[in-house]
Amino acid sequence: MGEKRANHVDADQVFGALADQRFRDVLRCLDERETPIELAELADAVASRTHDEPVAALPDRTVERTYIALYHAHVPRLAASGLVSYNQCQELVDTTEPFEPIVKSVLEETSSKLE
């Protein structure tokens, strides 16, 4: 799974995902990694980013809610869009080849507007 795979990208799903702040937080966390990430670790990173706090300072319930949202909604939707690959058995998430050209510029643009 370490090798990025080319996937078909669904434009409507991609634009829908990029319009949602939580999905962008997930994509930013994935963009910071060069290897697949376990879903639990991704939940920690997303919760920390969303609440602008170190994960250790967050209540366990907050991280648990983030994990549940990622497991049931966010990661499957991003996988359906073709931006990420998700191995549910191993709970590993990774970006795909289309991620680079499509998402990088959007993430950079939205980050610069926040500064």
Q: What sign has the CA pseudo-torsion 44, 50, 52, 58? A: negative
Query: What is the residue-level pLDDT of the chain in tens, covering all 115 positions?
Result: 444 544 566 777 778 888 888 888 999 899 888 899 999 999 999 999 999 999 999 999 999 999 999 999 999 999 988 889 999 999 999 988 766 666 766 677 666 555 5
Parallel/antiparallel/unpaired status of strands 37-38 and 92-95? antiparallel
> Which fold does the domain 11-114 belong to in CATH?
Arc Repressor Mutant, subunit A (1.10.10)
Annotated domain spans of the chain: 11-114
The neighbouring-strand residues paired with 84 are 95
Mapped onto helix, strand or coil, the DSSP state of residue 20 is coil
Name the burial class of residue 112, with classes exposed (0-12), middle (13-18) and buried (19+) by CB atoms within 10 angstroms of its CB: exposed
Entry pTM: 0.79
